[in-house]
Amino acid sequence: MNRVKSATQPLCHWCGKPLRKWTHDHDVPKELTIRTKAEAQKLTNQTVVSLKYWETPPEQDYDGLRFTPEEKLAKGRHVYRYATWDGESYRAVCGFFCSNNCAMDLGNAATQPPHNVVGKAYNDALRKRRA
């Protein structure tokens, strides 16, 4: 998996699916209680693209201190991790593909007549994007 930078979301050169964003996960500091994307956004200069929630209020804090019923209620459903994206980086296999399978399929297709090295799905997706 390598990082490619692009102003527009690249498409896999075999299947035509958009490549996934290259994101970084961040743990919310244990002393904070974050509930929304806007609150998470205040912790970083990069764009927050996803959140992971702790659905069940924890019985205890990270150090093992047990919460009182009032503290559990205050904690509630909260964000424990968020992912950021720099606005231009995408995950690619060999620079052009969404997966190893797509890279291998294109490689195999290139060995067979008519040696068509452009994936039909990629071609269709590119044509649709430009229409």
Interface ranges with Zn ion (CB under 5 A): 12, 14-15, 98, 102
- Cβ atoms of 106 and 117 within 8 Å: the answer is yes
**Residue 48 vs 98, nearer CB to Zn ion:** 98
For residue 93, the SS3 value is: strand
Q: Min. distance of Cβ 9 from Zn ion in angstroms?
A: 13
For the chain, give percent helix, strand, coil, nearest 5: 25, 30, 40
Closer residue to Zn ion (CB): 51 or 106? 106
Nearer to Zn ion, 48 or 102 (CB): 102
The least CB distance from residue 112 to Zn ion, in Å, is 18
Tell the smallest beta-carbon distance from residue 127 to Zn ion (Å).
Answer: 17
72: tokens are: 């559990």
Q: Which residues on neighbouring strands pair with residue 78, listed in sequence order?
A: 54
